[in-house]
Amino acid sequence: MALSMIVGAQPAVKVVALCGSLRKSSTNRGLIRAATEIAKESIDGLEIEYVDISPLPMLNTDLEVDGTYSPAVEAFRRKILEAESILFASPEYNYSVTAPLKNALDWASRPPNVWGDKAAAIVSSSGSLGGARSQYHLRQIGVFLDLHFINKPEFFLNAYQPPPKFDSHGDLIDCKVREKLKAVLLALHAFSLRLRRTSVVN
């Protein structure tokens, strides 16, 4: 009983969810909405907050003044810093991550890097390979940023292969895909707690 009380007393894992697409009806944003619903409904101790990256200016170090950033950048960096884990929804553009997502990665990596030592997971909704190539590039970037990605389960979704996975608003309607998304979230939750225990020990 003592162990269960200790486990139950743990603070929730706070996840910031970022979407590489800026379209409101993006299926990748639909994945984030579904992930948020799943966390609230069936995963105790996991809180997901979607953070919009569209207000960020294009990276320009002229905008840095005496180690400070514009209000939009400062607010974004604070959200990343305060999060324990990151959920990326990364569509594939031209074999890679999108420009808005790369811009967000770069802004939060400026000194001091606020990505470091956070758990992370990637989901993708795209055509053909389901965004696989964007995920592999994102993992490469994450090495330099000291992000710790879960390795499995992987989540690549071909959004255009029948039967329909999303409705006209970009909301996820496929129950099997929803279960796969839940498996990713459970793995991210478990890995986040593992990193938390490691940091306490160290």
State the pLDDT at residue 129.
87
- What value does the mean pLDDT take over residues 79-88? 98
Average pLDDT score over residue span 60-78: 94
d(CA 185, CA 195): 15
Q: How does residue 22 score in pLDDT terms, banded at 50, 70 and 90? A: very high
Q: pLDDT tens digit string along 104-162? A: 999 999 999 999 999 999 999 988 888 999 999 999 999 999 999 999 999 999 998 89
Structure confidence at residue 202 (pLDDT): 55
pLDDT at residue 2, rounded to an integer = 40
CB atoms within 10 A of CB 96: 17
CATH 3.40.50.360 for domain 13-201, yes or no, is: yes
